A and B are shown apart, each in its own frame.
Chain A
Amino acid sequence: MTDLHEISLQESVIEDIDPLDTILGTDEIYQLGNKDADAIDALRLRFTRQAVDHHRQHNPAYDRYCESLGFGSHRLSSAADLATIPLLSTGLFKRGDQAIRTGSGQDEVILTTSSGTLGTVSVVPRDDVTLKRFFASVAIGKREVLGVETFDRQVFDLTPATRDAPNVWVSYVMAGVGVLYTTRSYVRRDVLAMKEIVADLAAVPENEGVNIVGPPPLLLDLAKYLEARGPLRLSPKSLIIAIGGWKRRENEIIDRTVFDERLAAAFGFPDTAPIRDSYNMVELNTVLFECAFKAKHSPPWITVLARDPRTLAAMPSGQPGLLSFLDPTPLSYPGFILSDDFGTVVQRKQCPCGITGDVVVFERRVNRIESRGCALKLQTIGA
């Protein structure tokens, strides 16, 4: 009798979760370095090595590039060895080099692009898993660095709508954020609906935090509008998150401290802690957010290294250089990127926010002449 009844319990197992996705679904993953400083190194080594093997296997141009440099993943035995992984400069994404496409070409990808003028636009092919992992980095960072745990926080979006800027990464990111969180857009054809957003913000219940996300010049425009008409009184639980750069309005850049103070005053915050910057570029499949102490935390799965601009040798902790990223999350292109950004990486920093890990300080974008030296080294890939 018991046996007959046992039959009605069926059990089966589905095995389709990659270990990296388990990591991207682990609570308090940014806290990994607090318990064991070496744990982050071990995690990076494991997943970056796996990513190198994946791209060499499915990307013949990248494989030849590695071959020509005598590089193999068997050489990756410690975290220091990660600096030897062959990098792709952002210029290769602008030229549509073969090395930027991993996969058969039959797999469905969306072509995400940087904003910019013709000829200077990076095109990054993202397949489904790559895209999902990017949004995992958003959701994890929102919870663990921005400190917003709830699902129902409203997002006020000041980036161009995707129908005005199809496939432009910053807009696409916010369209994806619209899947994750209640999001309303306030920009059409580059125009910010100022009265509308101010009215909607004023209607938010006193105790409710909101997120306002947009490029710094539009955030500043909103602050100026409020300065002229009287500040809002948003809950200090709210966050103002800068995404993207100044683009065509670089002549309007103001000092970060002044920027933060003006925004805090305009939105009615007692201090500047809610004003946060973020870092991402179309070639990077992970976003870096600032904590309340204005530190941009590198998530444990990526490796950020500052490099000597001439030799590309990794700089020691705290020394400035050209920033490079080793991101194991993309499957459809190698996430081993040499950026155009200059900055420093402070390794294993114990931040007062409670996270111990690498903190990245972005200083400036290098100009074309400066970057030519390193571009020389990389321009023959895929030829």
Chain B
Amino acid sequence: MNDEELTLTLGTDKLVVTIDRPAGEERGTVLIVPPFGMSAERLFSTAYLMTLNGLRVYRFDPRNHPGRSTGSIEAFRLSELAIDTAAVLDLCPGAVVLGISLSSRAVMRALAGRDDWRAVVLITPVVDLQYTLREVMGVDLVRIVRSGEEFPDRNLVLGYEVDKVFVNDSIEHDLVEPADTVADLLRCRRPIVFIAGTDDPWVNMEDVRKVASQAARGGRSVEVIAIQAATHQLYRNPVLATAYFNCAVRQCLRATGADPDKIVEPSFAQIIAAAEAQRMDLADRANLEMYDG
């Protein structure tokens, strides 16, 4: 894990990318695009699961987001996440791309019109940003912005103060409507897999089915996998995270031509041991002064 680190330069900004190599035979590559508010470092367990299954992992800290890349989350913009995703994909052409929650929407934009990716797997995928924002925040910011009503410069989104530029940017870049999502999907010419929970209050399963079937009618190869009784809170309950991510790994294996039934599913105790080993290794490397008490 954490085998290599690259820093991309985008204009005057830097974008930090971490590469994890599988221990054994390499079956393919996965580019993981983090969900809103989560740094690449926090994707350790997802990356670990992928490497155990023979997949090389690229994970990165988007700009204006938690992590080590330029900027902080107040200025986060979905259109910029699409640009960052595209830039990292340039490093790993042919990768399966994994989007999670809000990042799924940026992933669809980033892949539209490109052919150098193998498949896309989208977990708890935001396909109707207006709906998701309304459910998360309790107010319909998109409607407020469009109506020209006053609204605060800073808004709390999942615990982060986010500038209103986020909403304006999403509207300007056609990232808000389900129809925009369909338009992007119609330009995604490789297999698309949606993995959604039937009990997700922030992403309506029916909306996912609708955009997926419209893309399918337009000739795209689309699959929808419903996880019965699963909610959006995969980072709150590791049981849910396991259900979503094991399903995603199977799809990644399938996309790379491997047998999805040969999936390696680590226990949580194994993940803890791996994370702890990594943590201790980093602490030792930093030559922590232990006996200065």
* Chain A residues with a Cβ under 8 A of chain B: 2, 5-6, 8-19, 21-22, 24-27, 108, 110, 128-129, 131-133, 135-136, 139-140, 143, 148-152, 161-163, 172, 175-176, 178-186, 188-189, 191-196
Contacts and interface: CB of A to CB of B under 8 A. Distances in A.
Nearest to B215: A9
B222 interface: yes
B66 interface: yes
Interface string B22-44: 00000000000000011101101
Given A21-B237, A128-B268, A151 B225 contact: no
User: Which among A8, A10, A161 has the highest number of chain B CB atoms within 10 Å?
Assistant: A8
B291 A191 contact: yes
Nearest to B209: A11
A15 B230 CA distance: 9
B280 to A, nearest CB: 6
What 4 pairs across the A-B complex have the smallest Cβ distances? A149-B159, A9-B216, A152-B66, A132-B238
Interface string B187-208: 0000000000001010000000
A176 B272 contact: yes
A374 B1 CA distance: 51
A151 B37 contact: yes
B159 A175 contact: no
A148 B159 contact: yes
A110 B215 CA distance: 46
Given A132-B239, A184-B283, A196-B289, A17 B226 contact: no
Given A139-B237, A152-B39, A195-B292, A128 B223 contact: no
Contact of B228 (A5, A17, A140, A191): A17
B44 A25 contact: no
Nearest to B241: A132
A108 B267 contact: yes
B101 to A, nearest CB: 11
A128 B268 CA distance: 6
B239 A178 contact: no
B240 A25 contact: yes
9 contacts: A9-B213, A9-B215, A13-B228, A14-B226, A25-B230, A132-B242, A136-B239, A139-B236, A184-B279
Contacts of A180: 235
Given A8-B221, A10-B223, A194-B293, 16 more contacts: A9-B223, A12-B224, A12-B225, A14-B227, A15-B228, A17-B243, A26-B231, A129-B239, A131-B267, A140-B236, A148-B159, A150-B159, A151-B39, A162-B276, A179-B44, A179-B271
Contacts of A6: 213, 216-217
- Which of the listed residues B226, B230, B236 has the most CB atoms from chain A within 10 Å of its own CB? B236
A216 to B, nearest CB: 17
Contacts of B215: 9
A27 B137 CA distance: 13
Given A178-B275, A194-B293, A27 B39 contact: no
Given A6-B217, A194-B293, A185 B279 contact: yes
A2 B219 CA distance: 9
Contacts of A17: 227-230, 239-240, 243
A268 to B, nearest CB: 22
Contacts of A132: 237-239, 242, 268
Interface residues of B, number: 63
Nearest to A136: B237
Contacts of B236: 24-25, 27, 136, 139-140, 143
A266 B239 CA distance: 39
Contacts of A193: 288-293
Given A9-B213, A172-B272, A182-B41, A194 B240 contact: no
A51 to B, nearest CB: 15
B228 A24 contact: no
A152 B37 contact: yes
A27 B159 CA distance: 13
B292 A14 contact: no
A252 to B, nearest CB: 16
Contact of B225 (A14, A150, A194): A14
Contacts of B235: 139, 151, 180
Nearest to A20: B239
Nearest to B67: A152
B195 to A, nearest CB: 9
Given A132-B239, A133-B239, A12 B223 contact: yes
Contacts of B272: 172, 175-176, 178-179
A121 B9 CA distance: 55
Contacts of B240: 17, 21, 24-25
Contacts of B275: 175, 178-179
Nearest to A133: B239
A141 B158 CA distance: 16
A21 B230 CA distance: 8
For B44, B231, B239, the residue with the greatest tally of chain A CB atoms inside 10 Å of its CB is B239
A194 B38 CA distance: 29
A5 B288 contact: no
A8 B37 contact: no
B220 interface: yes
